Copies of this chain bind each other. A is one copy, B any other.
Amino acid sequence: MIMRMDIQNIRAFLAVSETASFSRAGERLHLTQPAISKRIQAMELFLDIKLFDRIGKSVQLTEAGQALIPGYRRILDELEESERIISNLRQTTRGHLRFATSHHIGLHRLPAVLRQFSRQYPEVDLELQFMDSEQACQQVLHGEIELGIVTLPSQPDARLTLQTIWHDPMHCVVAADHPLASKEKVSRKQLLQQPSILPSSDTYTRALINRALQLDEHSNILMETNYLETIKAMVETGLGWGVIPDSMLDASLKIVAVKTGKMQRELGVVFHKARTRSSPANALLEILNGNHT
Contact = CB atoms under 8 A, between A and B. Distances in A.
A60 B7 contact: no
Contacts of A278: 62-63
Contact of A68 (B50, B86, B143): B86
A68 to B, nearest CB: 5
Of A49, A82, A95, most B-chain CB atoms within 10 Å: A82
A6 interface: yes
A55 interface: yes
A78 B79 contact: no
Report the contact-size class of chain A (Cβ under 8 Å from the partner).
Answer: 35 or more
A72 B82 contact: yes
Interface stretch (A128-136, A218-226, A268-276): A268-276
A57 interface: no
Contact of A86 (B67, B74, B276): B67
Contacts of A79: 5, 71, 75
B71 A78 contact: yes
Identical chains bound together, number: 2
Nearest to A55: B274
B60 A90 contact: no
Contacts of A6: 6-7
Contact of A49 (B50, B67, B86): B86
Contacts of A203: none
Given A53-B276, A79-B75, A276-B53, A85 B68 contact: yes
B8 A60 contact: no
A244 B25 CA distance: 53
| 5 A-B pairs with least C-beta separation | A63-B278, A62-B276, A71-B82, A53-B275, A71-B78
Interface of A: 4-8, 47-50, 53-55, 60, 62-64, 67-68, 71-72, 74-75, 78-79, 81-83, 85-86, 89-90, 95, 143, 159, 272, 274-276, 278-279
14 contacts: A49-B89, A53-B274, A54-B274, A55-B143, A55-B275, A60-B143, A63-B276, A64-B89, A68-B85, A71-B81, A71-B85, A72-B78, A74-B78, A75-B78
